[in-house]
Amino acid sequence: MAGKSLMRAAALSVLLGLSLGGCAVDGLNTDPEVRGLSGSVSEQRLTEPRGGEEIVLSAGNTLRIELSANATTGYQWRLLPGMNDRILELMSQDYQSDLHPLGMTGVGGTAILVFRGVEEGETLIRLGYARPGAPPDVEREIAVSVIPR
């Protein structure tokens, strides 16, 4: 009888330990600070920013921003004035169409903007989604702090 109680107590201890283990804090802080932010140390990737994100980037490293777009409508994402290019520079801007059957038109895709941290400081990336020559219908603002390597 005493053996059965000891087994029951041991099993209960194991279950309690496992259930409390699931409540542990992420001591290594491996979760991204911003929704959609991922990537290696040298490149950070931000997908579908809603605006208001705050990114910390080491000088020399890159930030890749990916936004849904549809170039067939005439709309495109563009960099709006206000970014300090001594702190952060736009390295490239590209558009990749989504996979689609041959001959299909009107297919959306992804706008990709790549920035590089130049020197220590803080600046804003202001992006607008608009047709050429028109004011933006949608705007996104992302705060970037560039820190020394």
pLDDT tens digits, one per residue of 43-94: 999 999 999 999 999 999 999 999 999 999 999 999 999 999 999 999 999 9
Check if the beta carbon of residue 111 is closer than 8 Å to that of residue 66: yes
Q: Is residue 8 part of a domain?
A: no
pLDDT of residue 27: 46
Q: Is residue 4 part of a domain?
A: no
**Backbone phi and psi for residue 54, each to the nearest 5 degrees, phi listed first:** -125, 120
Residue-wise pLDDT for 84-126, tens only, equals 999 999 999 999 999 988 988 899 999 999 999 999 999 999 9
Task: Tell me the whole-structure pTM to 2 decimals.
Answer: 0.71
pLDDT of residue 17: 57
Residue numbers of the domain that contains 76: 28-147
Q: How confident is the model at residue 26 (pLDDT cuts 50, 70, 90)?
A: very low
Q: Is residue 12 part of a domain?
A: no
Q: Is residue 116 part of a domain?
A: yes
Report how far residue 139's alpha carbon sits from residue 24's, in angstroms, rounded to the nearest whole number.
39
Q: Is residue 23 part of a domain?
A: no
Q: How many structural domains does the chain have?
A: 1
pLDDT: is 24 or 69 the higher one?
Answer: 69
Report how far residue 64's alpha carbon sits from residue 92's, in angstroms, rounded to the nearest whole number.
9
The CATH number of whichever domain residue 86 belongs to comes to 2.60.40.2020
Check if the beta carbon of residue 85 is closer than 8 Å to that of residue 143: no
* 8-17, 34-43, 135-144: range with highest mean pLDDT: 135-144
Q: Is residue 80 part of a domain?
A: yes
DSSP character for 71?
A: G
| Burial status of residue 141 (CB atoms within 10 A of its CB: 0-12, 13-18, 19 or more) | middle
DSSP states of 73-140: GT-EEEEPTT--TTTEEEEEEEEEEPP--TT--S--EEEEEEEEE-SSEEEEEEEEEE-TTS--SEEE
Q: Is residue 18 part of a domain?
A: no
pLDDT of residue 11: 58
pLDDT of residue 1: 55
Q: Is residue 50 part of a domain?
A: yes
Neighbours of 149 (CB within 10 A): 9
